[in-house]
Structure 1
Amino acid sequence: MTLEVGVLGYRFMGKAHANAMARLPMFFPDAPAIERSVLVGRDEDALEDAAERLGFDSIATDWRDVVADVDVFYNLGPNHVHAEPSIAALEAGTPVFCEKPLAPTLDDAEAMATAASEAGDDVPAGCAFNYRFVPAIQYAKTLLEAGDLGEIHHVRGQYLQDWLVDPDAPWSWRNDEEMAGSGALGDLGAHTVDLLRFLVGEDDLAGEIERVSGHLETFVEERPVEGSEAPAEPRENEDGDAVEDDETRPVTVDDAYTAQLAFANGAMGTLEGSRFATGHKNDHTIEIHGSRGSLRFSIERLNELEVLRAGDRGYETILVTDEDDPYVDHWWPPGHVLGWEHTFVHENYEFLSAVADGESFAPNFADGLAAQRVLDAIERSDERGEWVALE
């Protein structure tokens, strides 16, 4: 059986997943056969160009014409279009793979998770937390499950970028609360929260996150519309009141966030995410400290895991590229490193295999909702200026 795949979205994530689908038959021969059937978007001319480049057979300008007719539906659009198409697909019995964060609001995420639950395990609904599928993260998971680090005391997660440091960097949908939900918190923090849940929460090594304290900050309040120049000075009317300029749009989300976490077993966590961390392009780091050891990981050194075990005098850097390491037997000889795009191949392999076999998949919409609850609590904590318990 060949799975016909429909994809909504053809820019950043559309390219990443289309590339992964193209690689599957080359490196994962046991992956299900798929056909990149239809690419969905609003701009017909741009769609035709993207479909040719990304290997899709056809295009559609309305997702409603697609979700019930394909075998799998990928929702890779902006956050504000995650809920309605995904729910419609699930109600039609079509498996869904949705980008993170699951939705811009907690209410939307809950509706999506409910739809996934009602569709049943044989209609997988996956949430795109691709960093779970880094071989080094998978290896870290085995160490934690084996108890090598002992009782978990501290977890730390940072996700730092600098693409908005320039105040003249153009406005995008990621700067708008209605479309994105939040800024660095949802865009970057969702990944960090999910990784910590995956590594120390799912198996109750530290348990689920119980309460949070958060701080959000917006450094630049408005940005120029792409293709225009920002005004040299803010405009005012005759009464001296600020006037909205057509060439700029307000930034209504956070540029950076920090948070403290309290886990069920008493472990402490600290999180940080920023689009203003000068010198950091895509630096996602995780540290976990236990009673018998510690580990450190950075996405900028994706093939390495730093591990300290009881009795060691310092960290050992493990190059996770051997054939017996997770997923690596599908790729190159030891020492020939993998890259960021390979995480999408692993992710698509697992999801599409689950679809073909009619089995459940993780991370699923319930995982996406769990991360959303943490993000929502961090936001509410910032608004209230106090610790907030997860609901």
Structure 2
Amino acid sequence: MIGAGFMGAAHSQGWRVAPRFFDLPLDPQMTLLVARDADRTRAAADSWGWAESGTDWRAAIERDDIDVIDIVTPGDLHAEIAIAALAAGKHVLCEKPLANTEGEAERMADAASAAFSRGARAMVGFTYRRVPATTLARDMVAAGRIGDVRQVRAEYLQDWLSDADAPLTWRLEKEHAGSGALGDIGAHAVDLAEYITGQRVTEVSGILDTLVTERPLLAAGSGLSGTAAAGRGAVTVDDVALFTGRLESGALASFEASRFRTGRKNALRIEISGSRGALVFDLERLNELAFYDATAPAGEQGFRTILVTEPTHPYVGAWWPAGHMLGYEHAFSHQAKDFVEAIAAGAQPSPSFADGLHVQRVLGAVERSAAQASAWTHTDTTDARRAFAAS
């Protein structure tokens, strides 16, 4: 695994636990953790269960005893590492968003496509697909339980930047993060809406805003910018993203991504309305799925809560008795399980790098729309994307 921050801890939990609760066809060994600071990386490896630590990712992908590269670095490193790892014949799991730009994502998807014929598999880490309630929602939509999808509302709301004196970190620097709330959490909202509905976003109209334009600089060595403690630095990404979209069927969708929604800690919420019913999911209540059956008698209609803890629910049978809750970390074990099973079967893992590229194109279309007075912008028009980049 390359990267040792918050996502490194989450992915480590997934790799460590998955083979102990699921009967996997292959046995993942946590061989090597790689990050920039040798001492911190060694401490993290010891804490999270990695056998070795190092600071050179290029050396890692050259090792014959390593089959899988898990990328949890800031976005500006995704493309270089993933493309090199695939060229070396490694399977690659890469955190979302796939890259910082559409061009980088295109090169990664091309590399994954070429590597597939050589036996290497690649997957992007949209982990919330693996929450049992969201997988159940996908299954219910596919089974026609809510009829034709008519409208989607998806939002991902956090408040960790609401303090204007919170320090400038790499997530607030476009050169490292690519974008702000749009890519960091908006990407999840887009992917989850598409995953549950089974439809892609084809065009968008959006607006972006940066609410706090300067923040205190980090002390030297404490972040990727390596700046001095005195003074303030410019925030070069968005704080809030608002956009509407249209799905392949013509259904309308609305999206919001904000890291300034005071009181919202990790509220990924999606509501899907159909001709026969509706579904609502909220990550802050991740063991629940609300279902409205519009075909029920008028006197019995109303949202009811499905407690998604039964052994018949997706993934849940490997865990605890009914009613014993799962948490955020379990989705990473499900991700590891699905990735290992796809590798063993020689199948294409889902979501693929091509799926990640599509989400990147949606994010890029939102940026272009925001720069053009919220004009409706297609997500798959290559010529338009190139013209915008050239301007």
Q: Answer yes or no: same fold by TM over 0.5.
A: yes
Q: CA deviation at 1:51?
A: 1.2
Q: How many residues align?
A: 365
Superposed displacement of residue 246, structure 1: 5.0
SS of the residue 2:90 aligns to:
coil
The whole-number CA distance in structure 1 between the counterparts of 2:378 and 2:347 is 33
How far apart in 2 are the matches of 1:31 and 1:131? 23
TM-score normalised to the size of structure 2? 0.91
Partner Cα separation in structure 2 for residue 73 and residue 210 of structure 1: 32
Residue of 77, 85, 98 corresponding to 1:81: 77
Is the 2:24–2:337 contact (alpha carbons within 8 Å) kept by the matching residues of 1? no
Runs ≥4 residues deviating over 6 A: none
Aligned with residue 269 of structure 2, among 281, 285, 288: 285
Residues 245/17 of structure 1: CA separation in 2 closer, same or farther (3 Å cut) = closer
Counterpart for residue 20 of structure 1: 14
Q: Can you list the C-alpha shifts for 1:31-77, whole angstroms capped at 9, x where unaligned?
A: 52121111111111111111111111112211110113210000100
Judge conservation of contact 2:217–2:229 (CA < 8 Å) in 1: no
Contact 1:216 1:379 in 2 (8 A): yes
Q: Which of 150, 158, 173 is matched with 1:161 structurally?
A: 158
Aligned to 1:45: 39
Aligned to 2:386: none
Task: Report the counterpart of residue 370 of structure 2 in structure 1.
Answer: 382
Shift of 1:197: 1.3
Q: Structure 2 CA distance, aligned partners of 1:19 and 1:175?
A: 27
Deviations 1:289-347 (A, max 9, x none): 01111000000010100001123421110001001111111000000010000000001
Q: What is the distance in 1 between the residues matched to 2:116 and 2:29?
A: 24
What is the letter of the counterpart of residue 261 of structure 2? A
Indicate the residue corresponding to 1:34 in structure 2: 28
Match of 2:218 among 221, 226, 231: 226
- Please say if residues 31 and 349 of structure 1, whose CA atoms lie closer than 8 Å, have aligned partners that are also in contact: no
SS of residue paired to 1:73: strand
3-state SS of the aligned residue for 1:325? coil
* 1:388 counterpart letter in structure 2: T
Match in the other structure for 2:325:
337
Matched with 2:207 is 215
Q: If the length of structure 1 is used for normalisation, what is the TM-score?
A: 0.91
Residue 178 of structure 1: how far off its partner (Å): 0.8
Matched position secondary structure for 1:17: helix
Structure 1 distance, partners of 2:210, 2:25, is 44
**How far apart in 1 are the matches of 2:4 and 2:49?**
11
Q: Report if the CA contact (8 A) 1:24-1:31 is conserved.
A: no
Compute the displacement of 1:30 (Å). 2.9
Partner of 1:199: 196
Structure 2: segments with no counterpart, 5+ residues: 221-227, 382-391
Matched, 1:60 2:54: yes
Q: Which residue of 1 aligns with 2:112?
A: 116
Other structure's SS at 2:29 match: strand
SS at match of 1:34: coil
Partner of 1:297: 281
Query: Hey, what does 2:98 align to over in structure 1?
Result: 102
Q: Helix, strand or coil: the match of 1:336?
A: coil
- What amino acid sits opposite 1:66 in the alignment? A
- CA distance, structure 1, for counterparts of residue 25 and residue 10 of structure 2: 18
Question: What SS does the corresponding residue of 1:188 show, helix, strand or coil?
Answer: helix
Correspondence 1:91 to 2:87: yes
